Structure formats: C-alpha cells, structure tokens
Amino acid sequence: MLKGHDFSRLFETFERTAFRLETLAVYDVEGEREEFADFLAGKGLPPECSDSPWVRSMTDLGKQLSRVHVLQSPLSDYLRYELAAYAGNIKAGESIGIIDTARQRVAGLPDHDFWLFDDAKVYRMHYTPEGQFLGAELLPEDRLTEYRQYRDIALANAVPFGDYTAAQ
C-alpha cells in the first residue's frame, strides 16, 4: 500500500483527471489537527483555505479534479470543518458534489473511499475506524470498470456543493 510521499506523488503524476469518492464522517489527518481545533474554537479557517494551493497546483496545469462526498446529516464536527474548506477547493477549480444519505438513497456505491486517476488506475483507500489513513491499495486493472461505474453513479446522483449548502 502507498502512503506518505509515495501516495502524494500520485497527484503529481496523473495526467488528466482525478476523482475521489469520500465516505467517512471523520478523517484524522495529522496535518489538520491544529486547524480543526481552531475551527472548533471559532477561529475559522486559515487564509490559504480560501483558494486551495493543493488543488490549484493541479488545476493550473489543466488537470481536472473532482470528488463526491457521501455523508449523512446532521453533520459531524469534522464534516462541518471539511465542508467549510470545500469552498476554497471549488475556487481553485475542483468540482465537488454531495450525496446526503439522510435526504436521498443511492444504490450501487461502495462503503469505502477511492481515487480514480485518468480512468486508468484506481486506489482503494484504507483507514482505521478512527479515520487515520493506513494507505492506498492499487487495485488490479480488472476492477477498473467497476470503479468507473461507482464514479458515474456518484456523479449522476450528487448534488452540486453550492446547491447542497444553499439548502442547509
């Protein structure tokens, strides 16, 4: 499984498209802990979150980045934090959709996260029950059709982020 720098390189080496399906209510990311604590304390997000440099590093090269987050309202504290940061990702060029299972049922999606790069490589994400990233498992090519279908189902059923937040 890939993690650390080896996993980060995937975002430098894909050529055209990267799609993420997110399914967890909490992600325990070491680099976000202080920022998350500040958010909970009412300090808001740091200025760089208004236009994500991480997303911009890809979209400025003409790459397309998209995600669908499958979640359930009411939102956990972590999801409120993550969704607050999505506006900066969108400004930087990422397309984000939401499937709120409290409002809609969507059949045919997996119960785990994955990244699909250039429609050619799929990585299943593995986490602890607490949301700590364990690594990304490259799945065999014969699973690509299955994960492309998951992506297509997610995109077809997702509510655009702006519409989702407007309805809150």
User: Can you tell me the distance from the alpha carbon of 92 to that of 35, in angstroms, rounded to the nearest whole number?
Assistant: 20
Looking at residue 7, its pLDDT comes to 96
49, 59, 142 from 154: Cα distances, Å: 25, 21, 20
Model pLDDT for residues 114-130, shown as the tens digit of each residue: 999 999 999 999 999 99
* Ordered structural domains, the chain, with CATH: 4-166 (3.30.870.10)
pTM confidence score: 0.95
56, 58, 112, 130 from 11: Cα distances, Å: 12, 8, 20, 25
CA dihedral 126, 134, 82, 54 (to 10 degrees): -110
Looking at residue 48, its pLDDT comes to 85
- What is the mean predicted confidence (pLDDT) over 98-108? 96
Model pLDDT for residues 59-99, shown as the tens digit of each residue: 999 999 999 999 999 999 999 999 999 999 999 999 999 99
- What is the mean predicted confidence (pLDDT) over 123-152? 97
Model pLDDT for residues 9-66, shown as the tens digit of each residue: 999 999 999 999 999 999 999 889 999 999 999 998 988 889 999 999 999 999 999 9
